Structure 1
Amino acid sequence: MKHDTPTQAQHGPPEPADLTEISTFRLEIFSDAVFAIAITLLILEIKVPSAEDGTMLHGLLALWPSYGAYLFSFLIIGVVWMNHHTMMHCIRRVDRVLLVLNLLLLMCVAFIPFSTAVLAEGLATGHGDRTAAVFYGLVLTVGGLPFNAIWWYASRDHRHLSHLITEAEADVIRRHFSMGPFLYLGATLVGLLSAVASLTCFALLILFYMIEVLGSRKSGPGPAHPDRDGRQSDPPAHGAVQLPVGPPELTAGPIPSDPQAPPHARPLPVVHAHAMPAAPARVAPPCPSCGRSDYSSASPQ
């Protein structure tokens, strides 16, 4: 006869897997690939100068707009990638809606190399530099919309977030992410007056987010619990029970039993090694020919 295990008897049959919810592994792998390609394409917009019209040094110095646009875009993509990495660390599962929102974010990230080339061209020629700055800022502002949508959707009712972050911490992050598009939009509107002033605002925003990301490493979401070796480990999941490490006699001593508890609920007695009786010494049988019992230790003649 087949008997159910205690786990099955207590918790019942396992629930069927929800096919609409997917692990974040493939989403993170695909996103990292797009970030890596987009940040690599930035350098391809910087062309090698020609020495026909002057010295090579003069040609390299004339590319300062391309260097500046490359630096801005590289740091911006890097900050977005770091925040995306932190966000995915708090999200334990995704569905099709999150996949679509993440795809829209990656579409905006892949468009940054083109806006970088437009900005560098406008600064190099001096014609349409304000238009180039406004166009560059609008690309960054629009890119912040799907980024915020991912966190707003994932943190709603805390249904896609892990136990590493509380609802209060999720609300703080939501308000923090919401400032991004408005700050980028403000720096973009400054470009209507001056392209240099607009880029200065973007530089300050990049510096602010870099300092904040580096400072957030000291206070990550969710408390950590030390294990028996003193290392920090993740807190247990909601509803999980933490069991003691090792047998009872090595942790907290014998467990006292309740005399009023039923027999099946009382703990088993702890048997220590020093209480075990010693095994009797093994005696060799006597030799059938001579009757000696220590023939096994005698040296051969």
Structure 2
Amino acid sequence: MKTGRLEAFSDGVLAIVITIMVLEMKAPEEVNLSELLKVAPVFISYLLSFIYVGIYWNNHHHLMHVTQKVNGKILWANLHLLFWLSLIPFTTSWVGEHHHYKESLPVATYGFILLMCAVAYFILEGVLIKYHDDHFALNRLPKVKWKVYLSTTLYILALPLAYLNTWLSITCFVIVAIIWLMPERRLEEFMEQGEA
């Protein structure tokens, strides 16, 4: 099977995820700066989640660009990723509604969802690698992926940190987002050379 339908469906789900997140933001009832500042935590939660969804969309796009074919296992692995991504609006809203990020459980839950999104993405990569031959672009990337190890470690650290200091936990999420803002450079090189 070709990747077209999988890509189109994934793009549609991610567009809906972003739409739900933005619809969760409510405008201030009064028109003044102090009321606007009261909704700042909701906006900050939205901004971080938008960046995360953007990172997944960007990396998923690169992943599918080098993918030559898909099978049923790949479709299910992709749906598994979309399931966890679809929970981001819920946790974004929950974190944002608890102003000043003082509540530990919403922040820890947000971190757990982000961790599961990462796990699901790595599962998708693994299934793709298994289904393709040795010339597949992902097989030609370095086996030691420092970004994967560092981000997984930060996600796992962020869970207990949420109960010590929610801001330390949120800092972990921001660092992971910064790490993944740029897609894998070698993968982009394969795409540009048409080697995939």
TM-score (ref. length: structure 2) = 0.87
Superposition pairs for residues 231-270 of structure 1, below 5 Å? 234-235=194-195
Do structure 1's residue 48 and structure 2's residue 27 form an aligned pair?
yes
CA contact (8 A) 2:141 2:186 kept: no
CA contact (8 A) 1:91 1:154 kept: yes
Name the larger-Rg structure.
1
Q: CA deviation at 1:152?
A: 0.8
Superposition pairs for residues 178-197 of structure 1, below 5 Å? 180-197=151-168
Superposition pairs for residues 63-82 of structure 1, below 5 Å? 63-82=39-58
Aligned pairs, number: 196
Q: Following the alignment from structure 1 to structure 2, what is the Cα–Cα distance between the partners of residues 60 and 166?
A: 46
Do structure 1's residue 98 and structure 2's residue 77 form an aligned pair?
no
Q: Following the alignment from structure 1 to structure 2, what is the Cα–Cα distance between the partners of residues 100 and 125?
A: 35
Q: Following the alignment from structure 1 to structure 2, what is the Cα–Cα distance between the partners of residues 133 and 178?
A: 21
Question: In percent, how many aligned pairs have the same letter?
Answer: 30
Q: Following the alignment from structure 2 to structure 1, what is the Cα–Cα distance between the partners of residues 36 and 54?
A: 25
Do structure 1's residue 137 and structure 2's residue 124 form an aligned pair?
no
Q: Following the alignment from structure 2 to structure 1, what is the Cα–Cα distance between the partners of residues 156 and 85?
A: 17
Which one of 176, 182, 185 corresponds to residue 216 of structure 1? 185
Q: Following the alignment from structure 2 to structure 1, what is the Cα–Cα distance between the partners of residues 61 and 132?
A: 15
CA contact (8 A) 2:147 2:179 kept: no
- Give the aligned residue type for 2:16: I
Residue deviations 1:79-129 (CA, integer Å, cap 9, x gap): 111111111122111111111111111111111000001101223584xx1
1:171 aligns to what SS in structure 2? coil
CA contact (8 A) 1:141 1:184 kept: yes
Corresponding residue number in structure 2 for 1:60 = 36
Which one of 2, 7, 16 corresponds to residue 37 of structure 1? 16
Aligned Cα root-mean-square deviation (Å): 2.6
Q: Following the alignment from structure 1 to structure 2, what is the Cα–Cα distance between the partners of residues 186 and 35?
A: 27
Distance change in 2, residues 1:191/1:104 (3 Å) = same
Q: CA deviation at 1:163?
A: 4.7
Q: Which has the higher helix share?
A: 2
* Relative contact order, higher structure (CA 8 A, sep 6+): 2
Structure 2: segments with no counterpart, 5+ residues = none
Q: CA deviation at 1:189?
A: 2.6
Q: Following the alignment from structure 1 to structure 2, what is the Cα–Cα distance between the partners of residues 199 and 166?
A: 31
Q: Following the alignment from structure 1 to structure 2, what is the Cα–Cα distance between the partners of residues 89 and 166?
A: 11
CA contact (8 A) 1:105 1:146 kept: yes
Corresponding residue number in structure 2 for 1:165 = 137
CA contact (8 A) 1:28 1:88 kept: yes
Q: Following the alignment from structure 1 to structure 2, what is the Cα–Cα distance between the partners of residues 179 and 98?
A: 26
Do structure 1's residue 200 and structure 2's residue 179 form an aligned pair?
no
Corresponding residue number in structure 1 for 2:4 = 25
